[in-house]
Every structure is written in structure tokens, then in C-alpha cells.
């Protein structure tokens, strides 16, 4: 009889770290007249390749002319709005309803725009009570520049001149004129308030179309930088009352962009403007720059309604007229910073310096001084909270 002697040997067992898929939900912005959906199918494929689970609300890509099938082929799961709002990270430039905000899972990260919170205090309070972490994409900063804000301002600046040019050339509702570039014909006058990214984009487009451009800002350093970018082709000035009144009186197009101190035109300066002057407000507080003009939201106004509007009105929400361009630009920003976004959700204490200024709510606490003033709620230093988390 043969006796076999078995020897038990220890064998190393490979321990796999927790690799649970991080889900990213993208609800449609259309219920709130927001057509700038922040992700294209190409960007979806990139995020899916990085191991993220992308959940997109059915029909959300319609405003930018992408079908659900295109997103599904790129690796997204097409689902209900409720499913998209149950994700770990939710991206929604538009505000949500209070019921939807209350349904978001505690500790989830909502990425939105600061205006969505500041203009809807009840919405912000609901998120605060639900203990949702909230980041404003337009406040992401490298210390000198705000990436997403600059992208959106640049698009708004370009779009405002494209829309204005189309309105001026309309022979029925417009003046039936070109901005300029025709020998022997005096070009149109474009007055721009501010000298940041949106102002530069608007001035660049206006100059390219042959218009005469005047740029005003009390931030002389910013004004100097803008002048260099534009090769000093635009006439620049500080906001001197007499000079500004003259420019507004002669302007065919006025574009108001964000300035360090909010701009507001005097009532008599508005009254002296041309009857068919076109005014575009690209600031976060539409209506404050030209308070007596009727406001027209380009986000949910048809082309016919725009053309047939009051002869002198203030147009806002300009970027929603070019939602696909905005979608491509926002996709670039999202895919380029997705690792930092994942870090913000997984390990807030390790969040990069460029992301920290963008945090507005952290586990129910206001970590934005601006939001705390709006909500009349206590302000907490995010750096201290995160280090103790």
C-alpha cells in the first residue's frame, strides 16, 4: 500500500482594492430652459474609457442634436431623470426642482453653476438640508484664471456679436445693414462694457466684421491687457461719465460683460440711446445694467419672437443660442479635469487647490462667503472642514 504524504503550503492571496465604479449622472436642463448640455458622445466615450459609469437622462442631448443612441454607443446608460440624480457625481448647469434636490443622495457631489444657487436661494437651502456637496464649475480657478467661466464668457461674447449681426441685417425687423467693412460706408458702433474674456471675444468678432469698437472698464490693468490682445484696434477708456454717455448715444450694439464693480447705466443715458440699439447683458445679474429696458431670455425665445421684439431691449442667456458649441467647450473642460473631480468626491481633504475655491456647500455647511450671505447662514472655512473630515 502506497501512503501519500500531503504537505500544506501557504499561498499568497492577491487582495484587490475596492474598485466600485463611480457613477456620473447628467439630467436634462430643458425643464429650466437650459439647452447647454455639458457632455457630447465623444466626451462620454472618454469618460467611459476611464472607468466611469455615465448615466444620461433620456432625450437630454436633443438640444445639441445628439440622439440617445449616440450616447449609448459611446458607453452611456440612458435612463430616467430620477436615475441620473441618484449618481455619485451629478452635473447640471441648470437648477433642479426642490423635490429633486431633496432626493439627491447625502454626500453626493453636485456640479452646477454659481448663478443656479445664488439666484435660487430656496434651491440652495434644500441642497444644504439634504447635505449634498456642491461645486460651482465656473469658480474653478488656477489662482489667476477661471477655466469654465472664461470658456462660457468667451462663447457669450462671440455669440452676442453673431446674433447682433444677424438681427441688424434683417431687412424687415432689423435695419438691413452690415456691421461694416464696406468702402465709403461708416461702420456700426459697438460699445463694450468690461475688458475680460467675454469682452475681448465680442470686440474681436466686431472688429473682424468691420465695426468700430469702444471698450470701457475701470480696471485699467485688465483694459491694458485687452488692448494688447486686440492689437489696440479698439478705442479704450475708463468709465468716465461724459465719454460713456457719448458712446452709448452713438452705439448700434452694446455688450455688457462682468466687471469688478457691477455696471449700471443712468436712466438719462439709456433714454438717449438709439431707438433700435441692441443691448446684450452677459453678466450674472441680467437687467441691472440697463434697468429700464425689457428683458428677453434667448434661452427660450424663438427667432421670430426675437426679431419682432421691442425696438430697444436687453437680451440675456446668449450662450443658449449656440448650445452645441457650449457643449463641446464644456466637454473639453470636464474631460480635462475629471481626475480632480473624482478626487473632490472621494477625498475632499486631498482636493486640488484649483478645485477648492469652487466648493459652495460641504455636507450641509456653507463654504462660500457669497452663498452664506445670500442664505444668511454661517460661513465655514472649507480648508479646515476638509482637513478634519
pLDDT in tens, 43-63: 999 999 999 999 999 999 999
182, 306: one domain:
yes
264, 115: one domain:
no
Query: Radius of gyration over alpha carbons of the chain, in Å?
Result: 25
3-state secondary structure of 140: coil
How far apart are alpha carbons 55 and 47 in whole angstroms? 11
Q: What percentage of the chain exceeds 90 in pLDDT?
A: 73
Joined grid coordinates for residue 206 = 466686431
Question: What CATH number did the domain enclosing 187 receive?
Answer: 3.40.50.720
In a domain, 188, yes or no: yes
Joined grid coordinates for residue 323 = 448650445
Number of folded domains that form the chain:
2
pLDDT of residue 308: 47
pLDDT of residue 17: 43
pLDDT of residue 311: 65
pLDDT of residue 8: 52
pLDDT of residue 3: 53
158, 213: one domain:
yes
330, 355: one domain:
yes
In a domain, 5, yes or no: no
Mean pLDDT of all residues in the chain?
Answer: 89
234, 275: one domain:
yes
pLDDT of residue 349: 75
User: Helix 147-169 crosses helix 197-208 at what angle (to 10 degrees)?
Assistant: 30
DSSP output for 14-60: --PPP-PPPEEEE--SGGGT----S--HHHHHHHHHTT-EEEEETTT
333, 318: one domain:
no
Cα dihedral 308→309→314→315 (10° resolution): -50
216, 332: one domain:
no
108, 208: one domain:
no
User: Which contacts of 345-354 are long-range, i.e. CB under 8 A and separated by 24 or more positions?
Assistant: 345/22, 345/88, 345/89, 345/108, 345/109, 345/133, 346/22, 348/133, 348/386, 348/389, 349/386, 349/387, 349/389, 351/386, 353/143, 354/140, 354/141, 354/142, 354/143, 354/147
Q: Domain range spanning residue 85? A: 23-145+324-387
pLDDT (tens digit, 9 = 90+) per residue, 143-166?
677 889 999 999 999 999 999 999
**Ranges of residues in the chain whose predicted pLDDT is under 70:** 1-20, 143, 301-311, 388-389
Q: State the pTM of this model.
A: 0.86
pLDDT (tens digit, 9 = 90+) per residue, 301-318?
665 455 545 467 899 999
Amino acid at each position: 500500500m502506497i501512503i501519500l504524504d500531503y504537505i500544506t503550503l501557504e499561498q499568497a492571496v492577491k487582495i484587490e482594492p475596492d474598485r466600485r465604479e463611480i457613477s456620473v449622472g447628467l439630467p436634462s436642463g430643458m425643464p429650466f430652459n437650459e439647452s447647454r448640455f455639458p457632455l457630447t458622445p465623444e466626451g462620454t466615450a472618454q469618460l467611459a474609457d476611464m472607468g466611469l459609469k455615465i448615466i444620461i437622462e433620456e432625450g437630454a442631448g436633443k438640444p445639441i442634436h445628439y440622439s440617445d443612441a449616440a450616447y449609448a454607443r459611446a458607453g452611456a446608460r440612458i435612463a430616467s431623470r430620477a436615475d441620473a440624480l441618484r449618481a455619485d457625481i451629478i452635473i447640471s448647469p441648470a437648477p433642479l426642482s426642490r423635490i429633486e434636490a431633496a432626493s439627491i443622495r447625502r454626500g453626493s457631489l453636485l456640479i452646477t453653476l454659481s448663478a443656479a444657487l445664488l439666484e435660487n436661494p430656496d434651491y440652495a437651502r434644500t441642497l444644504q438640508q439634504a447635505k449634498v456637496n456642491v461645486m460651482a464649475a465656473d469658480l474653478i480657478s488656477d489662482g489667476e484664471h477661471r477655466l469654465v467661466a472664461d470658456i462660457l464668457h468667451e462663447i457669450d461674447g462671440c455669440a452676442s456679436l453673431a446674433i447682433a449681426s444677424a438681427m441688424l441685417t434683417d431687412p424687415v425687423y432689423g435695419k438691413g445693414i452690415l456691421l461694416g467693412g464696406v468702402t465709403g460706408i461708416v461702420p456700426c458702433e459697438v460699445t463694450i462694457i468690461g475688458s475680460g474674456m467675454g469682452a475681448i471675444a465680442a470686440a474681436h468678432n466686431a472688429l473682424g466684421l468691420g465695426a468700430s469698437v469702444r471698450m470701457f472698464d475701470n480696471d485699467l490693468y485688465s483694459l491694458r491687457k485687452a488692448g494688447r490682445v486686440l492689437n489696440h484696434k479698439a478705442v479704450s477708456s475708463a468709465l468716465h461719465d461724459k465719454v460713456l454717455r457719448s458712446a452709448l448715444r452713438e452705439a448700434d450694439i452694446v455688450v455688457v460683460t462682468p466687471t469688478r464693480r457691477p455696471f449700471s447705466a443712468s436712466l438719462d443715458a439709456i433714454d438717449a440711446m438709439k431707438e433700435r440699439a441692441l443691448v446684450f447683458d452677459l453678466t450674472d445679474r441680467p437687467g441691472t445694467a440697463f434697468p429700464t429696458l425689457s428683458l428677453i431670455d434667448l434661452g427660450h425665445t424663438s427667432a421670430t419672437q426675437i426679431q419682432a421684439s421691442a425696438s430697444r431691449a436687453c437680451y440675456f442667456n446668449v450662450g443658449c443660442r449656440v448650445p452645441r458649441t457650449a457643449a463641446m467647450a464644456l466637454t473639453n473642460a470636464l474631460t480635462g479635469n475629471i481626475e480632480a473631480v473624482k478626487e473632490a468626491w472621494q477625498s475632499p481633504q486631498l482636493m486640488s487647490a484649483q478645485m477648492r475655491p469652487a466648493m459652495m456647500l460641504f455636507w450641509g455647511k456653507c463654504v462660500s462667503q457669497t452663498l452664506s450671505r445670500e442664505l444668511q447662514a454661517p460661513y465655514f472655512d472649507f480648508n479646515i472642514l476638509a482637513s478634519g473630515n
